Amino acid sequence: MVYALIIVLAYLIGSIPFGLIVGKLFYGIDIRQHGSGNLGGTNSFRVLGKKAGIVVTSADILKGTLATLLPAIFSFSTHFHPLAAGLFAVIGHMYPIFAGFRGGKAVATSAGVLLGYTYPLFILLILVFLLCLKLTKYVSLSSIIAGLFTAVYTFVNMIFTGDWVLFIVGLALASFVIYRHRANITRIKNKTEPKVTWI
């Protein structure tokens, strides 16, 4: 029963569409009808501006972190793995019940899951992402590379620490990110993917 409660709560937390909420509440804009139509941080930056983008991205990160901490909150009666809870939050972010199951691309919430479980990896991912963004100017490509880095890092970590759950979840998160960016990959190949100019 407690396991089911954690799964449902994690999914619902992940389903909170902060991009939609911030856009409608403070700007009178449904960001699903602008830019890429995505509910994530990148489209919030593009459609609503820097301040809103920072708020939405931070909130999406914290969704993953909060969900990952749920098993600790229920520690008196469960041994549910925190990464499993985080995984359901990411699924909620991608397919949110509160936004017609049309959500974000899993990047920020996945990062939040890792922040809640192993913050050194989160810091490394931020550095990898920013370095790639500086070099390529593509948010999508930087996200994909950060996802691939997660898969490689968690595999090497498993060899040394035996943490196979982190590897499995890290591989799943990387797969989500790559799959959700498949249209971006096509645009990058066709040289039609927009670049950022602020870095």
Sorted by sequence, the CB contacts under 8 Å of residue 113 that are 6+ apart come out as 64, 65, 67, 68, 83, 86, 87, 89, 90, 169, 173
pLDDT band at 70 (very low <50, low <70, confident <90, very high): very high
Share of the chain above pLDDT 90, in %: 85
Inter-CA distances, 25 with 22, 56, 159, Å = 5, 13, 47
pLDDT of residue 185: 95
pLDDT of residue 86: 97
pLDDT digits (tens, 9 = 90+) for 10-19: 999 999 999 9
Give the amino acid at 146: A
The mean pLDDT value for 137-160 works out to 97
Sorted by sequence, the CB contacts under 8 Å of residue 34 that are 6+ apart come out as 43, 46, 47
pLDDT band at 39 (very low <50, low <70, confident <90, very high): confident
Report the Cα 87 to chain-centroid distance in Å. Answer: 10
pLDDT band at 35 (very low <50, low <70, confident <90, very high): confident
pLDDT of residue 79: 82
pLDDT digits (tens, 9 = 90+) for 172-181: 999 999 999 9
Q: Is the pLDDT of residue 76 over 70?
A: no
pLDDT of residue 13: 98
pLDDT of residue 162: 97
Q: How far apart are CA 72 and CA 145, in angstroms?
A: 31
